[in-house]
Every structure is written in structure tokens, then in C-alpha cells.
């Protein structure tokens, strides 16, 4: 019998919650297209709108400002498109009300300021646009003073994009300070909360964000579902057209079953979030305390998600270690971004000032709702075994 792997890679994607799977099955059985006017279509529409209300309530948002997407990547791109369309209207002297942007020079180009810690979904897309960069301090936090300097010279309108919590290091950004700077400089704020939602409190009102992005599969819902959440009055100029779904903001037939599963997963993730956070933080701390003495933990000096540890064992190549851990029956990931199964050096760690050779050794463990204390024990046993083998080979 094949042993079930010990899963320590929740930041890549959490196992679907049983409650979400059951809810999805019911929605799939109901069938129908939510845009149809007959009873079957209306039943699916009711399920989607109920899910929208539940997710909006969890984020302190209005349900009409929740736009369902295929995931966080699409939601981020949708926000950028909405901002770009809004910027074009500003330059064309179309009145807007958010942050007095109607008073800005309509002939100036728009600016997108992206923190160096951002996920590739936004960072790589931003490189295709007019992007400025906000640097990181060595601990992984955005350098707020440097960000203010960038805001001072950026051509308006301005959109600042910052992850609430980084997917690699788990570092939680000082969004309150960043939001205050945005208000001071008349900038809009896009917050990617894909990793944070369900693990720490997330409220679009408390974050003072213009746009907020969340994802389903990070908290135990199905992959292929996410949402862009808008603050009241947030500029949104439609740049995509089709059947008018999602109030004309995101065309395409809604994935009703995924949306229902998403909303159910949100409810269960929030049901005991605070106690679960304490449990996971204790597991993470116990894991880090037992690492070899030469281990380096990244972001440990900053606030972090309770479930995430990004570390390196000098001299142990990350790709080799991930494969070796998998052979030992433990699923972890490289601290670096992974694309098409290929490990590459972490841009985030480089922005934190981590030396290239050390960054190449970066590994990440992340725990979640199904994680047990025995998972920590098995992950540590496997890692220490691999570390001991590395030491023997180095001494030979």
C-alpha cells in the first residue's frame, strides 16, 4: 500500500474541505446556467448570490462589490485593467470621485507601483505596463520611507499594489501605514490577500484598500475560483465585454459549483480561525526550533502568517531537497517561485538582500487545517535525515 504523503505545502494549495466538496456536489447536481430565466437558472443564480453574500460578509464588503473570477491571478489582472481604464478616463477629463483623482493632470501617464514582494501573477503582468518598484527591507517588509519617495515622483493617477502576506516568507505587510501614504498622495491601493484570507483577519474596510483580491484554494475551497472585491466608490471601468455577467465587470458564465464551494470553505476557515492560528503557529515554531543549527529562517524578524516557515540549510540545493523530501513521503516546496515544475531563484529573497547561494537553498513548509503534530515530526525526521546525508557528503 502506498503511504499517504505528509502534506506541508498549504501555501501552494490546501486540500479541499469536506464541507466545501459536499456543497459543490449539491450545486453540480442542481445544474443550470445562472443567466437563464427559467426555474433551473434562477435556482443556480440564488446559489451564486447566496455565496456572494457570505463572502462579502466575511470581508466587510457589500455583495454588489464582489466580482467572482477564475482565481486570484485573474482578479489581479482585472483590477489592473479596471485601473487602466479609469486612468484613461482621468486623462480624458472624465470626473471621478475616489481620492480626488478628478483634480489630477489628465495628460500624465498612470503609474503602477508594485512592491518587490508581490506574487508573479501581478509582478510579471506589471512589467508589461508602466511599473515602478517599492523595495523591501531585509526582514521582508516594504520599505515605507522608500515607497513614499516613489509616490512623490510617480505620475498620477497612481495604483499601489501590495500583498497583505507573502506566499514565500509569510511576512505580513504594514498595510495601515501604506494605506495612509496612499491617502496622502491620492493613490489607489490594491491588496492581494490570497494567502492571508482565512488565516488572519481580512477586512477591506480595515485595510482601507480600493481593490482586494482573494482566492478559494488557499483556504480549502476548490481551485479555479477567486474574487475581486471593490471598496465603495472604487473606480472600475469595464475593459472586457461579453454576456454582461458579474454586473458587466467580468463576462463569462459563472462557475456556480466552485463559487458555492468557495463560500463554504470561507465559512469553515473562519469558524475557528484564531484558535487554529495559535495551533499552527505553535507547530511552525516547534519545527523551526528543531532545525539544524546552521539553518537560516527568512522573515522571522517580521510579523508572519502563523502557518508558514521559509528557511535554508546552507549547502543544500532546494530542488534536490524538495525531491529528496518527496521520496521520504513529505511534500514541501522551494521557497522560490515554481513555474512548470522548474525551480528558480527567489526574486523576493533577492529583494530582501539574501545572498544568491543561500537563496538557492530556500525551502518552505506551510501547514493548514488538516495538519497534525505528527506531520511536524515526520517532516523534521525527513529533513534531518537529508541534512545528515549532506554533511556526510561534504565531509567525504
Q: Output the domain CATH number for residue 330.
A: 3.90.1150.10
Q: Examine the domain organization and report whether 344 and 198 are in the same domain.
A: no
What pLDDT shows up at residue 35? 84
- Domain termination residue (choose one: 270, 299, 328): 270
Q: Examine the domain organization and report whether 263 and 288 are in the same domain.
A: no
Does residue 168 fall inside a structural domain? yes
Q: Examine the domain organization and report whether 237 and 337 are in the same domain.
A: no
Q: Is 117 a catalytic residue?
A: no
What pLDDT shows up at residue 130? 78
Q: Examine the domain organization and report whether 377 and 264 are in the same domain.
A: no
Q: Examine the domain organization and report whether 235 and 266 are in the same domain.
A: yes
Q: Examine the domain organization and report whether 248 and 356 are in the same domain.
A: no
Catalytic residue chosen out of the listed positions 8, 117, 182, 338: 338
Does residue 132 fall inside a structural domain? yes
Does residue 322 fall inside a structural domain? yes
Q: Examine the domain organization and report whether 168 and 238 are in the same domain.
A: yes
Q: Examine the domain organization and report whether 164 and 287 are in the same domain.
A: no
User: Structurally, how many domains does the chain consist of?
Assistant: 2
Q: Examine the domain organization and report whether 115 and 165 are in the same domain.
A: yes
Q: Examine the domain organization and report whether 124 and 138 are in the same domain.
A: yes
What pLDDT shows up at residue 245? 86
What pLDDT shows up at residue 185? 96
What pLDDT shows up at residue 93? 55
Q: Examine the domain organization and report whether 200 and 219 are in the same domain.
A: yes
Does residue 354 fall inside a structural domain? yes
- Domain termination residue (choose one: 209, 241, 270): 270
Does residue 312 fall inside a structural domain? yes
Environment class of 153 (CB within 10 Å of its CB; exposed 0-12, middle 13-18, buried 19+) = exposed
Q: Examine the domain organization and report whether 209 and 290 are in the same domain.
A: no
Rg (CA), the chain: 22
Cell numbers placing 190: 490594491
What pLDDT shows up at residue 336? 58
What pLDDT shows up at residue 241? 83
For residue 75, the domain's CATH number is 3.40.640.10
* Residue 387, domain extent: 6-15+273-395
- Domain termination residue (choose one: 209, 239, 270): 270
Does residue 1 fall inside a structural domain? no
What pLDDT shows up at residue 341? 56
Does residue 377 fall inside a structural domain? yes
Report pTM: 0.92
What pLDDT shows up at residue 92? 66
What pLDDT shows up at residue 106? 37
Question: pLDDT tens, position by position, for the chain (396 residues)?
Answer: 456 789 999 999 999 999 999 999 999 999 998 888 899 999 999 999 999 999 999 999 999 999 999 999 999 999 999 998 878 777 665 444 444 434 434 334 579 999 999 998 888 888 887 789 999 999 999 999 999 999 999 988 999 999 999 999 999 999 999 999 999 999 999 999 999 999 999 999 999 999 999 999 999 999 999 999 999 999 998 878 888 888 889 988 899 999 999 999 999 999 999 999 999 999 999 999 999 999 999 999 999 999 999 999 999 999 999 999 999 999 999 965 555 455 667 999 999 999 999 999 999 999 999 999 999 999 999 999 999 988 888 777
Does residue 229 fall inside a structural domain? yes
What pLDDT shows up at residue 225? 97
Amino acid at each position: 500500500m502506498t503511504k499517504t504523503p505528509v502534506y506541508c505545502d498549504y501555501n501552494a494549495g490546501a486540500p479541499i474541505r469536506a464541507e466545501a466538496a459536499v456543497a459543490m456536489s449539491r450545486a453540480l447536481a442542481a445544474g443550470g446556467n445562472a443567466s437563464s430565466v427559467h426555474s433551473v437558472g434562477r435556482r443556480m443564480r440564488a446559489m451564486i448570490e447566496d455565496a456572494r453574500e457570505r463572502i462579502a460578509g466575511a470581508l466587510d464588503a457589500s455583495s454588489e462589490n464582489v466580482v467572482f473570477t477564475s482565481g486570484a491571478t485573474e482578479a489581479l489582472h482585472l483590477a489592473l485593467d479596471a485601473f487602466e481604464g479609469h486612468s484613461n478616463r482621468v486623462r480624458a477629463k472624465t470626473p471621478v470621485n475616489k481620492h480626488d483623482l478628478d483634480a489630477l493632470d489628465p495628460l500624465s501617464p498612470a503609474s503602477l507601483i508594485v512592491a518587490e514582494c508581490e506574487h508573479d501573477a501581478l509582478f510579471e503582468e506589471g512589467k508589461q505596463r508602466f511599473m515602478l518598484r517599492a523595495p523591501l527591507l531585509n526582514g521582508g517588509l516594504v520599505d515605507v520611507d522608500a515607497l513614499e519617495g516613489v509616490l512623490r515622483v510617480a505620475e498620477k493617477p497612481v495604483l499601489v499594489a501590495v500583498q497583505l502576506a507573502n506566499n514565500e516568507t509569510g511576512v505580513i505587510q504594514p498595510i495601515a501605514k501604506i494605506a495612509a501614504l496612499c491617502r496622502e498622495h491620492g493613490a489607489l491601493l490594491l491588496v492581494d490577500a490570497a494567502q492571508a484570507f482565512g488565516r488572519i483577519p481580512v477586512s477591506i474596510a480595515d485595510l482601507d484598500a480600493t481593490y482586494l483580491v482573494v482566492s478559494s484554494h488557499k483556504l480549502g475551497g476548490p481551485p479555479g475560483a477567486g474574487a475581486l472585491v471593490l471598496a465603495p466608490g472604487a473606480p472600475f471601468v469595464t475593459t472586457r465585454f461579453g454576456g454582461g455577467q458579474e454586473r458587466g465587470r467580468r463576462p463569462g458564465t459563472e462557475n456556480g459549483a466552485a463559487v458555492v464551494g468557495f463560500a463554504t470553505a470561507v465559512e469553515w476557515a473562519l469558524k475557528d480561525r484564531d484558535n487554529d492560528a495559535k495551533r499552527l503557529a505553535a507547530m511552525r515554531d516547534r519545527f523551526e526550533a528543531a532545525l539544524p543549527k546552521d539553518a537560516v529562517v527568512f522573515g522571522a524578524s517580521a510579523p508572519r502568517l502563523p502557518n508558514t516557515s521559509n528557511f535554508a540549510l546552507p549547502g543544500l540545493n532546494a530542488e534536490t531537497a524538495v525531491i529528496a523530501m518527496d521520496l521520504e513521503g513529505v511534500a514541501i516546496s522551494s521557497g522560490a517561485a515554481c513555474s512548470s515544475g522548474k525551480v528558480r531563484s527567489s526574486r523576493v529573497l533577492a529583494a530582501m538582500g539574501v545572498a544568491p547561494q543561500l537563496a538557492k537553498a530556500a525551502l518552505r513548509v506551510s501547514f493548514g487545517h488538516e495538519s497534525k503534530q505528527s506531520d511536524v515530526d515526520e517532516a523534521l525526521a525527513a529533513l534531518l535525515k537529508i541534512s545528515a546525508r549532506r554533511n556526510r557528503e561534504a565531509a567525504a
